[in-house]
Copies of this chain bind each other. A is one copy, B any other.
Amino acid sequence: MTSRQIRLALRAYGVGGPGQHNLWKDPRVPKNASIDIDWYIAQAKAAEHALFDALFIVDSQFIDATYPPHYLNRLEPLTLLSAVATHTRHIGLVGTLSSTYNSPFNVARRFASLDHISHGRAGWNVVTSFDTGTSRNYGLDEHLDYATRYGRALEHVQVVRGLWDSYEDDAFPAAGDVFLDPSKLHALNHAGEHFRVDGPLNLSRSPQGQPVIFQAGVSEEGRNLAAHVAEGIYAPGGTLEATREYYADIKRRAAALGRDPDHVVIFLGAQPVVAGTDEEALRLSREIFEADNDFGRKLGQFGRAFGAHDFSQYDLDAPFPDVAHLAEKSGRTRGTEIIRRATSEGLTLRETVLAFTRYQPSPFTGAPDTVAATIAAWFEAGAFDGLNVGFRTHEDLSRFVADVVPLLQKQGLFRTGYEHDTLRGHLGLPIPANRWSVAS
């Protein structure tokens, strides 16, 4: 048995991550990077060359003109990943798709198709949608409340998994006169609180049995969903203490439900900043922050946690406004924390925005050996199973791969070759038995 190793996912850049609002000004980045498929293929290939577990694509479905550049113009995740699939052979392909604004049959088909096209490398990052405005792009006046969103999410995943098992693995003998053995094709006939889906799905299972279920969302409801169905988690970064607590909490919840905690692989979001020396890296990190330190923009983005609420209507120097009724919207966790702190510390709106957007270097900032040592220490301390790393440019990824990854490999903390062809294989996840196949 090999000892526990770190997992690495690449959160494709050009999309997502802090400090990217002015990335389009960087001469090394094409101005249309976020819609340039070659830009993504190049990242996927670089990450695969570096033996990463997965490429990770986040998503959003609502914008207005205040949104950061990479949100404004972005490719739909599955369309993107399908194009990437045929240019790679090992790396996992995880796409974010909202369970709130998609139908299970469609989601099941699309991920199962990606799973076939990639020969077993697909993963679905289940989110309930952060941007409340999405509801108005899908015929609803209001974003669904937490209970409904997460209730729907759990049932959604269960239905999708049911559809993925429509065919038993030996359903197609394709011999003699028998193409399909009809006894091995199963309708689902699901009728639940949120969905009625009869099935069967018109797709067989892939080499990994079912795409891997990821989840992102940290509320009580989000953790509960994760404990029930997530096999991978995209968790937000934070202090060592906070991330260890989160990690232990999720593993505990999964175990309490009778699941093997090793089968919930927790990826921490990280934006490493690597340079020749620690000082240089910190200077670089500060520079990136300062270049993008525009209060007006921050105020615009600040509203996202409260359902794209327009905070420019308030006096910046008056006490933080009463927006408690909006904190249940996009993300209760963050909204509640903002309100709690503003209230308990008696902050003005301006002070609150500054407090929550202040300079906070990534814990993985420094010379290569510093960054490698910090990663190793956090890993050993139980803060994560893997990192979901994002970078500003190809060069930053290359530097991380060339200088940091080998130090992790030297300590036996990262693979030195792919041992598997599927995402499940990389993550040490079992192939789910088909629910219809009886052990004989």
Task: Give the residues in chain B near A76, CB-CB below 8 Å.
Answer: 109-110, 112-113
Tell me if A101 counts as interface (CB < 8 A to partner B): yes
A97-152 interface (Cβ within 8 A of B): 101-103, 105-106, 109-110, 112-114, 116-117, 133, 136-139
How far, in angstroms, from A101 to B133 measured CA to CA in the complex?
A: 22
How far, in angstroms, from A114 to B65 measured CA to CA in the complex?
A: 24
Given A113-B75, A116-B35, A116-B37, are A137 and B105 also a contact pair (CB < 8 Å)? yes
Tell me if A78 counts as interface (CB < 8 A to partner B): yes
Task: Give the residues in chain B near A62, CB-CB below 8 Å.
Answer: 202
Tell me if A260 counts as interface (CB < 8 A to partner B): no
A22-43 interface (Cβ within 8 A of B): 24, 31-32, 35, 37, 41
CB-nearest residue of chain B to A163: B137
Tell me if A249 counts as interface (CB < 8 A to partner B): no
How far, in angstroms, from A87 to B79 measured CA to CA in the complex?
A: 14
Tell me if A174 counts as interface (CB < 8 A to partner B): yes
The answer to whether B185 and A65 have CB atoms under 8 Å apart is yes
CB distance from A96 to the nearest CB of B (A): 13
- Count of interface residues, chain A, beta-carbon cutoff 8 Å: 61
Task: Give the residues in chain B near A73, CB-CB below 8 Å.
Answer: 167, 172, 202-204
The answer to whether A103 and B138 have CB atoms under 8 Å apart is yes
Given A31-B174, A113-B76, A137-B197, are A180 and B37 also a contact pair (CB < 8 Å)? no
Given A75-B113, A86-B83, A139-B195, are A65 and B182 also a contact pair (CB < 8 Å)? yes
CB distance from A105 to the nearest CB of B (A): 4
The answer to whether B136 and A196 have CB atoms under 8 Å apart is yes
CB distance from A71 to the nearest CB of B (A): 7
The interface bits of chain A over 57-79 (1 if a CB of B lies within 8 angstroms of the residue's CB, else 0) are: 00011111100010111111011
The interface bits of chain A over 196-209 (1 if a CB of B lies within 8 angstroms of the residue's CB, else 0) are: 11111011100000
Task: Give the residues in chain B near A31, CB-CB below 8 Å.
Answer: 172, 174
Task: Give the residues in chain B near A180, CB-CB below 8 Å.
Answer: 65, 69, 72
The answer to whether B202 and A69 have CB atoms under 8 Å apart is no
Tell me if A80 counts as interface (CB < 8 A to partner B): yes
CB distance from A428 to the nearest CB of B (A): 27
How far, in angstroms, from A112 to B74 measured CA to CA in the complex?
A: 10
CB distance from A271 to the nearest CB of B (A): 21
How far, in angstroms, from A124 to B336 measured CA to CA in the complex?
A: 44
Task: Give the residues in chain B near A109, CB-CB below 8 Å.
Answer: 61, 76
The answer to whether B139 and A202 have CB atoms under 8 Å apart is no
Which of B72, B80, B179 contacts A202, CB < 8 Å? B72
Task: Give the residues in chain B near A202, CB-CB below 8 Å.
Answer: 60-63, 71-74
Tell me if A158 counts as interface (CB < 8 A to partner B): no
Tell me if A427 counts as interface (CB < 8 A to partner B): no
The answer to whether A116 and B75 have CB atoms under 8 Å apart is yes
Tell me if A265 counts as interface (CB < 8 A to partner B): no
Tell me if A82 counts as interface (CB < 8 A to partner B): yes
CB distance from A20 to the nearest CB of B (A): 11
Task: Give the residues in chain B near A199, CB-CB below 8 Å.
Answer: 137
CB distance from A296 to the nearest CB of B (A): 12
CB distance from A369 to the nearest CB of B (A): 37
How far, in angstroms, from A138 to B197 measured CA to CA in the complex?
A: 6
List 10 extra interface pairs beyond A65-B182, A78-B82, CB under 8 A: A64-B200, A73-B172, A73-B202, A74-B203, A75-B117, A83-B85, A86-B86, A103-B138, A105-B137, A137-B199
- Which 9 A-B pairs give the minimum distances between C-beta atoms? A65-B182, A79-B113, A136-B198, A82-B82, A76-B113, A31-B174, A105-B137, A75-B113, A76-B109
Chain A to chain B contacts (Cβ below 8 Å), 26 pairs? A37-B86, A37-B116, A41-B86, A61-B105, A61-B109, A65-B180, A69-B179, A72-B185, A74-B203, A76-B112, A76-B113, A78-B110, A79-B79, A79-B82, A79-B110, A79-B113, A80-B117, A82-B83, A86-B86, A86-B87, A101-B106, A103-B139, A133-B198, A137-B197, A137-B198, A139-B197
